[in-house]
Structure 1
């Protein structure tokens, strides 16, 4: 299932509810705002169902700070498994495992707890809202693998195909519900 094809009805719902904001966060960028998708009951249900289909077989769903938290919680609940919040640096009490990654304008840090959650051998699916350049998703993948987790797939609501993020996590199985 390493493909970028839309997920049927979910893709149509995402397309109909996504708000495009011109020149945000900087001039020349057409920001894709998924907030209306998540605020709509049918939209959230369709996205949750489609992501849960990808995550079937996982025993933990990891969501990336911050919108990924909403998705991971909903998908984990649907599957009857746990959810893990992959946080931005400085948001978790120590001890933590950290992963630093490059941004176009600097670097960022992601963290997960080093104590209290046994990740070794767990089958994990990563979920997030948008895949752009893939830096955040790739850093999450490295972080979870370093903790001993078996990352079996990743899924995103929206993939910005022109930015090449898929290559950053290849050959990981990746599913995008909508590709633009």
Structure 2
């Protein structure tokens, strides 16, 4: 079990805005570090989405917006995201649903509305975005990897607080069916 405020994970992923179909937003990605898991077990080869054994996928949600000068805030509702163990990794950012494959090993629920803030320059172009949220562990399933037994309920029994940073400009070209895709990274600490 991690101590309160001890580093829980590093992730990288992408936000996908699906305005053309449903107006939903969701994030998908993979773990660069996951506390308690041997680093050698995180990837099957060179670190990257296609070799990542541990991935995550959010339940799609609708966000509301608020502006204040050059700040644009996104208000994301309470929602869930799940972590997956992919024994045969095959995720790609060209297919965000590929991150929701494999064995679901945990589900977390955000504890409140998430405020994401985007900073724009005088011309209105986004420079950088950030957010902070806490999420409680609501479900966990034990698993075995590399001859060792794991359970995120033992490593992160309460949950995490994650600090995220996103790219200001969207990724181009945007994958088919999406209004916008933005890359991000996140660092989480364990809740007490």
Both structures adopt the same fold (TM-score exceeding 0.5)? no
TM-score normalised to structure 1 length:
0.25
Q: Which has the larger radius of gyration?
A: 2
